[in-house]
Amino acid sequence: MNQEPQKNYSTVKSYKPFYSQYDPCPPIGRKYYSTPPQLYLGFQPMNMPQYSAKEALKKGTLWPYFYDYYDNPYKGDGR
């Protein structure tokens, strides 16, 4: 049996800010934000695999399930 929970969600969300016809500036477009994976777990199962101490310091978490690599959604947009 697989110990790691299913990941059927996206940690990157987006929204489009409101733009009025009377705004003096052009519309911004889509804005992106990231949510942490522990929001979707509910509780921490027993006997989750762990990183080594050195690897945990690099990743910022002890458990691989909670590691969330940040991929910049604006990269390549020219900003």
Domain boundaries, the chain: 12-66
pLDDT of 3 over the 80 cut = no
Q: How would you label 14-43 residue by residue, b for 16+ Cβ within 10 Å and e otherwise? A: eeeeeeeeeeeeeeeeeeeeeeebeeeeee
Average pLDDT, the chain: 81
pLDDT of 67 over the 70 cut = yes
pLDDT of 66 over the 90 cut = no
Q: Are 78 and 29 in contact (CB under 8 A)?
A: no
**Residues 6 or more apart whose Cβ sits within 8 Å of residue 34:** 11, 12, 13, 68, 70
